[in-house]
Chains A and B, each alone.
Chain A
Amino acid sequence: MSRNSFLAVFNQRAALLIFLIGKLLRFFFFFAFIILLLKGTKSLAGYNLNQTLLFFLTFNLIDTLSQFLFREVYRFRPLVVSGGFDLVLSKPVNALFRSLMGGADVIDLITIIPLSIATFYIAYLLNPSALQSIYYLALLINGLVIASAFHIFVLGMGIVTLEIDHTIMIYRDLTALGRFPIDIYKEPLRGIITFLIPIGIMLAFPAKAIMGLITPAGVIWSIVFGGLLLSLSFKFWKFALKKYTSASS
């Protein structure tokens, strides 16, 4: 399925290339900013340069990975509007899988690989224990689980309301708050984005875990939370699907 999306016209590729350069530049700008900022202030919300960088890199890793996996979600609205979604429903491939992950683009791997290397290197520089490293990986995957839950929810919204573009934009702007350690936010905002709109659990907890700031119980609870969120999103998807198929076109 992803091979089909690989066969693209050059122009589409040129656009993708420009997007890639844009994203790389943005990453580089923020990266440089963090270094320069911490050169001047020595600590941000109690974290030093490497720690702040880890938060930043983890954010980028999860964000890039979920964009890579769920690129198809960005094409969902035209699919529903044009009626193409009905076609998807009629095919033997699971409609959710197709709408969620049908559009993975190999070009994203160009960024993911060096990004992963950089992230793990910085993490290594923090001298974590083996257990902490395991927590990091577990919560990283958990972060992706939460991201999937978000995207499935967005898809469900798309079917029910057709208002998908705005929902995606809100999601992206909210997750952007996780670029920096969420400790910078004051309560009650911090509480809201940690638990209610679980950006904190998704983006900040992996790095916190590797720094030993999360208890083992906390890790387990986060994973349970992620699983719960995912099953909730599945339920919502089923509900949305039922609504869609019972309404006449």
Chain B
Amino acid sequence: MKKYFQIFKISFQQEFSYRLNFIMWRVRNVLQIILTFFLWSSVFKNPQTEVFGYNQGKILTYVFGILLLRAIVFSARAVDVAGEISNGNITNFLLKPVSYFKYWATRDIASKVLNLVFSVFEITILFLILKPNLFLQTNLITLFAVLISLIFAIVLFFCLLFITNISAFWMPENGWAAQFLFIGIITDFLSGGVFPLDVLPFTLQRALYSTPFPYLLFFPLQVYLGKITGLEIVRGLVTSGAWVFILFVILKFIWARGLRRYSAEGR
């Protein structure tokens, strides 16, 4: 256990040494939120407007919620795995008595903690400047369900990210391109990270719900906003949990194959 605390510590320190990069990353996140915020403010200029099942308070809460949830779910250091595989540095890790998964999971958590702190700070500032009326969930059971869904979301994203990065075993020069496409674009949109999935036609939404993506950001937020209730929450959590299991199995399988290939090519 001490192992992982040390990994957490050193990873945290590492993030600080990349100060400028980190600040830039936060600035980009905030700029994206500003665009979305004003977009929806404009749509809901009249506080009475109700569209796509949202009112002004709920949609703006969604926007702020995305800022927070991205920090919790999407912040990760495992984006570096593809690079480590390409340049062969992974060799050093394979020889250490520590699980590669647990190592990266710990580093991801360190990143999430740091990003979470900053996003809370940013939300506060934005709140003071923009003064939206936000929706506050008070039902404890609902909040608990949100928490569970977030834990699933974190694990889901870890699996998706890791699987994408391991593609570097088969295409060492292009691992990062796969990451851009799959994580940066497909996952970002289909998880509700750019716009709420409510705008999509109902059949499309239903189809998306059988994929793991909405459970990363959209589902937890919908539960928080009270737009998904009761049995639906349970159904969502079960599907989310099922995906955690499936992706984990896939991850382990692809990892074993990738490792074998890495050994076979003798890099």
Residues on B with C-beta less than 8 A from A174 are 31
A185-B130 Cα distance, complex, nearest whole Å = 12
A15-B177 Cα distance, complex, nearest whole Å = 6
Residues on A with C-beta less than 8 A from B34 are 177, 189
User: Which parts of A102-159 form the interface with B (CB within 8 Å)?
Assistant: none
CB distance from A13 to the nearest CB of B (A): 10
- The answer to whether B194 touches A29, judged by C-beta atoms less than 8 angstroms apart, is yes
- The answer to whether A184 touches B186, judged by C-beta atoms less than 8 angstroms apart, is no
Within the complex, which residue of A30, A44, A170, A177 is in contact with B24, where a contact is CB–CB below 8 Å?
Answer: A170
- The answer to whether B35 touches A40, judged by C-beta atoms less than 8 angstroms apart, is no
Q: Is A45 an interface residue (CB 8 A)?
A: yes
Query: Chain B interface secondary structure, helix, strand, loop or mixed?
Result: helix
A6-B178 Cα distance, complex, nearest whole Å = 22
**Taking each of A163, A177, A183, which has the highest tally of chain B beta carbons within 10 Å of its own beta carbon?**
A177
Q: Is A11 an interface residue (CB 8 A)?
A: yes
- The answer to whether B199 touches A169, judged by C-beta atoms less than 8 angstroms apart, is no
Q: Is A213 an interface residue (CB 8 A)?
A: no
Q: Is A26 an interface residue (CB 8 A)?
A: yes
- How many residue pairs, one in A and one in B, have C-beta atoms under 8 Å apart? 86
- The answer to whether B195 touches A184, judged by C-beta atoms less than 8 angstroms apart, is no
Residues on B with C-beta less than 8 A from A41 are 43, 49, 51
Q: Is B189 an interface residue (CB 8 A)?
A: yes
A173-B43 Cα distance, complex, nearest whole Å = 22
Q: Is A84 an interface residue (CB 8 A)?
A: no
- The answer to whether B32 touches A36, judged by C-beta atoms less than 8 angstroms apart, is no
Contact status of A18 and B194, CB under 8 A, knowing A36-B200, A166-B24, A179-B35: no
- The answer to whether B199 touches A37, judged by C-beta atoms less than 8 angstroms apart, is yes
Residues on A with C-beta less than 8 A from B201 are 36
Within the complex, which residue of B176, B185, B199 is in contact with A36, where a contact is CB–CB below 8 Å?
Answer: B199
- The answer to whether A15 touches B31, judged by C-beta atoms less than 8 angstroms apart, is no
Q: Is B174 an interface residue (CB 8 A)?
A: yes
User: Which parts of A89-109 form the interface with B (CB within 8 Å)?
Assistant: none
- The answer to whether B35 touches A177, judged by C-beta atoms less than 8 angstroms apart, is yes
Q: Is A22 an interface residue (CB 8 A)?
A: yes
Q: Is B261 an interface residue (CB 8 A)?
A: no
Q: Is A232 an interface residue (CB 8 A)?
A: no
- The answer to whether A176 touches B189, judged by C-beta atoms less than 8 angstroms apart, is no
Q: Given contacts A22-B180, A25-B189, A37-B195, could you give 11 more A-B pairs where the C-beta distance is less than 8 Å? A: A14-B174, A15-B174, A19-B177, A25-B181, A33-B195, A41-B43, A44-B42, A169-B28, A176-B31, A180-B35, A184-B41
Smallest CB-CB A-B distances: 6 pairs: A184-B42, A18-B177, A15-B177, A22-B181, A173-B31, A36-B199
